[in-house]
């Protein structure tokens, strides 16, 4: 299940599209040589069926005045639709925010920046519709990303930071989702975490918790596409910054750092600005 993470007062304009309508707008918003995500958007259709449903969608877009027939037998996109859909496909940089709770509820949203004037968010809603939100400026765009991450600290963690094997943390997550708090603490006690840190981490995983990540993608440049990520664990007793590291034996380790909401916001804003 996917939830919409956008704050309603953060946008200047919102449009919702069916997958079929989105395919049609993609076709008219981009160069024909660009490969479009038909398989992701319309996985259940054959090629003939896709042509039929997209033609119906095209008529719907004309009725909504998002697409207009021209004098040469083609179509012209409304500038708003061109900006939102085309800008999200051709973004200079994008941020993907993912939130996964202990009940496996997943919320995902893509934020796209095109130049210095176009800021768009793209969410796939539970009913299958695609929602596009246009933001008024950079500041509103950044606030929307922070709002989507929902990083708050209802309490302050006082334990020291630590490191543990990624495999142990994954096992602890699995047991926490099963509601077995005793097994979670036993697993964490197998690690090199201090007793205090293991206990506070177990408390974080005892009840409602969420892993929230933001992945930043920069297109172009000499190095091609650049990817950077931040991850946080949030529970009833506080907030952790998670960072993947490797030891000398190439074992996957995770660094856990207690962090306040304000400190997490600073890290996210630094990531966005650098990107």
Query: What are the tens digits of pLDDT across the range 61-101?
Result: 999 999 999 888 888 888 888 888 877 877 888 999 999 99
145 and 166 within one domain: no
**What's the pLDDT at 3?**
41
With bands split at pLDDT 50, 70 and 90, how would you rate the model's confidence at 266?
very high
What is the DSSP code string of the chain? -B-----GGG-SEEEEE-HHHHHHHHHHHS-TTSPP-HHHHSTT--HHHHHHHHHHHHHHHHHTTSEEE-TTS-EEE-HHHIIIIIHHHS-SEEEEEEEEETT--EEEEEEEEETTTEEEEEEE-TTS-EEEEE-SSHHHHHHHHHHHHT---SS---SPPEEEEHHHHHHHHHHHHTT-HHHHHHHHHTSSS-HHHHHHHHHHTSSSEEEEEEEEEE--STT--EEEEEEEEEETTEEEEEEEEE-TT--EEEEEEE--HHHHHHHHHHHHHH-
176 and 79 within one domain: no
pLDDT at 123 over 60: yes
Show which of 104, 128, 149 is a domain's final residue: 149
213-252, pLDDT tens digit by residue? 999 988 754 445 578 899 999 999 999 999 998 765 667 8
Q: Quick check: 153 and 261 in contact, CB under 8 A?
A: yes
138 and 167 within one domain: no
**What's the pLDDT at 226?**
72
199 and 139 within one domain: no
138-150, pLDDT tens digit by residue? 888 899 999 999 9
In the Cβ-directed half-sphere of 218, how many Cα atoms lie within 13 Å?
Answer: 14
Does any domain span residue 2?
no
Show which of 121, 149, 177 is a domain's final residue: 149
φ, ψ of residue 155 to 5 degrees: the values are -145, 165
pLDDT at 10 over 80: no
228 and 133 within one domain: no
Average pLDDT in the chain: 86
- Does the CA dihedral 42-45-51-57 come out positive or negative? negative
**More confident position, 8 or 164:** 164
136 and 13 within one domain: yes
43 and 83 within one domain: yes
Among 8-22, 127-141, 152-166, 257-271, the least confident range: 8-22
Token pair for residue 113?
């920046």
The count of domains in the chain is: 2
**What's the pLDDT at 1?**
34
Q: Residue 113 is part of which domain span?
A: 8-149
**What's the pLDDT at 37?**
60
**More confident position, 22 or 223:** 22
Give the Cβ contact number of residue 41 at 10 Å: 19
82 and 12 within one domain: yes
**What's the pLDDT at 18?**
93
176 and 142 within one domain: no
With bands split at pLDDT 50, 70 and 90, how would you rate the model's confidence at 2?
very low
124 and 178 within one domain: no
Q: List, in order, residues 6 or more apart from 112 with CB less than 8 Å away.
A: 87, 88, 91, 93, 94, 118, 119, 120, 121, 122
**More confident position, 234 or 35:** 234
Does any domain span residue 113?
yes
Does any domain span residue 50?
yes
**What's the pLDDT at 5?**
42
178-188, pLDDT tens digit by residue? 999 999 999 99
From first CA to last CA, the distance across the chain in angstroms is: 29
Does any domain span residue 3?
no
183 and 71 within one domain: no
Does any domain span residue 88?
yes
Does any domain span residue 157?
no
141 and 19 within one domain: yes
Does any domain span residue 156?
no
Does any domain span residue 63?
yes
The neighbouring-strand residues paired with 102 are none
**What's the pLDDT at 60?**
94
């Amino acid at each position: 299940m996917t939830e919409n993470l956008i704050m309603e007062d953060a946008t200047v304009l919102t449009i919702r599209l069916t997958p079929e309508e989105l395919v049609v707008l993609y076709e008219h918003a981009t160069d024909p040589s660009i490969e479009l995500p038909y398989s992701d958007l319309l996985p259940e259709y054959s090629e003939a069926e896709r042509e039929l449903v997209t033609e119906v969608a095209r008529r719907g877009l004309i009725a909504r005045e998002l697409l207009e027939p021209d004098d040469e037998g083609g179509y012209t996109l409304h500038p708003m639709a061109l900006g939102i859909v085309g800008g999200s496909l051709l973004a200079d940089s994008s941020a993907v925010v993912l939130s996964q709770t202990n009940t496996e509820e997943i919320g995902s949203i893509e934020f796209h920046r095109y130049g210095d004037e176009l800021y768009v968010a793209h969410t796939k809603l539970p009913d299958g519709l695609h929602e596009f939100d246009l933001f008024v400026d950079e500041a509103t765009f950044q606030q929307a990303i922070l709002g989507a991450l929902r990083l708050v600290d209802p309490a302050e963690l006082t334990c020291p930071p630590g490191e543990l094997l990624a495999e142990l943390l994954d096992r602890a997550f699995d047991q926490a989702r099963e509601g077995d708090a005793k097994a979670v603490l036993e697993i964490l006690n197998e690690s090199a975490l201090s007793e205090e840190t293991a206990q506070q981490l177990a408390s974080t995983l005892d009840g409602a918790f969420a892993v929230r990540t933001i992945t930043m993608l920069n297109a172009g440049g000499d190095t091609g596409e650049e990817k950077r990520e931040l991850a946080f664990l949030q529970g009833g007793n506080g907030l952790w910054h998670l960072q993947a590291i490797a030891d000398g034996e190439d074992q996957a380790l995770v660094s856990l750092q207690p962090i306040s909401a304000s400190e997490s916001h600073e890290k996210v804003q630094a990531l966005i600005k650098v990107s």
